[in-house]
Chain A
Amino acid sequence: MSEVQEIQIGDSSAQAAAAGKALSRPDGEELQDMQGEKMVLNMGPSHPSTHGVLRIILELDGEVISKAVPDIGYLHRGDEKIAENMTWTQFIPYTDRLDYLAPLANNVAYALAVEKLLGIHDKLPPRCQYIRVICAELARISSHLLGVGCFAMDVGAMTVFLLTFTEREKVYNLCESLTGARFTTSYTRIGGVSRDTPPGWCESVRNFLNEVVVSIAEVETMLTRNRIWVDRTRDVGVISKETAIDYGLTGPNLRGSGVEYDLRKAHPYLCYKDLQFDVPVGSVGDCYDRYLVRMEEMRQSVRLVHQCLDKIPGGYENQAKEPVNVADGKIVLPPKNRVMTSMEELIHQFMLVTQGMNCPAGEVYFGHENPKGELGFYINSRGGGAPYRLKIRSPSFVNLSILPHLLPGHLMSDTVAILGSFDFVMGECDR
Chain B
Amino acid sequence: MNALDFANQLKGKFGDLLSGPTEFRGEVCLTVVDAGKVAEVCAFAKQELGFNLLVDLSSVDNYGEDPRWTLVYELYGITHAAHLRLKANVSEEKSELPTVSGVWRTADWHEREIYDMMGIRFQGHPDLRRILMWEGYPYFPLRKDFPLAGRPTELPEIAFTKTAPIEGGPFVTAPGGRDAIEREPRVRTTEN
Q: Which residues of A contact B (CB under 8 A)?
A: 72-73, 76, 78, 80-82, 84-85, 116-117, 119, 245-248, 259, 261, 266-267, 362-365, 367, 374, 376, 378, 380, 388-389, 391, 393, 397-398, 400-401, 405, 430
Contact = CB atoms under 8 A, between A and B. Distances in A.
Contact of B78 (A85, A245, A405, A430): A245
Given A378-B56, A391-B56, A393-B55, A247 B106 contact: yes
B49 interface: no
B124 to A, nearest CB: 17
Contacts of B148: 78, 81-82, 84-85
A363 B72 CA distance: 10
Interface string B112-134: 01000100000000000011111
Interface in B50-97: 52-56, 58-61, 72, 74, 78, 81, 83, 85
Interface size class of B (residues with CB under 8 A): 35 or more
A80 B114 CA distance: 12
Q: Which of A82, A376, A389 has the most CB of B within 10 A?
A: A389
A398 B24 contact: no
Interface in B26-48: 27, 29
Contact of B141 (A81, A85, A248, A378): A81
A397 B106 CA distance: 10
Contact of B25 (A119, A267, A367): A119
Contacts of A362: 24-25
Given A81-B148, A380-B60, A391-B56, A397 B109 contact: yes
A364 B24 contact: yes
Nearest to A429: B132
26 contacts: A72-B131, A72-B132, A73-B132, A76-B132, A78-B141, A81-B141, A81-B148, A117-B25, A119-B25, A245-B53, A245-B78, A246-B52, A246-B106, A247-B106, A248-B53, A266-B81, A363-B29, A363-B72, A364-B25, A364-B27, A365-B83, A378-B72, A380-B60, A380-B72, A393-B56, A401-B105
Interface in B130-164: 130-134, 141-142, 146, 148
B170 to A, nearest CB: 18
Nearest to A380: B60
B60 A73 contact: no
B106 A401 contact: yes
Contacts of B146: 81
Q: Which of B25, B81, B117 has the most CB of A within 10 A?
A: B25
A71 to B, nearest CB: 8
B58 A247 contact: no
Contact of A389 (B27, B55, B60, B130): B60
B56 A376 contact: yes
Nearest to A265: B81
Contacts of A376: 55-56, 74
Q: Which of A365, A398, A401 has the most CB of B within 10 A?
A: A365
B27 A365 contact: yes
Contacts of B29: 363
Contacts, number: 93
Contacts of B74: 365, 376, 378, 393
A81 B105 contact: no
B78 A261 contact: yes
Contacts of A259: 78
B70 to A, nearest CB: 8
B106 A248 contact: yes
A365 B56 contact: yes
Contacts of A261: 78
B6 interface: no
Nearest to A361: B24
B104 A246 contact: yes
B27 A73 contact: no
Contacts of B83: 267, 365
B60 to A, nearest CB: 5
For the complex of A and B, the 8 pairs showing the least CB-CB separation, nearest first, are A248-B106, A73-B132, A391-B58, A401-B109, A393-B56, A76-B132, A389-B60, A362-B24
Contacts of B142: 80-81
Contacts of A365: 27, 55-56, 74, 83, 85
A400 B61 CA distance: 26
Nearest to A400: B109
A78 B146 CA distance: 12
A364 B28 CA distance: 10
Contacts of B110: 398
B64 to A, nearest CB: 12
Contacts of B56: 365, 376, 378, 391, 393
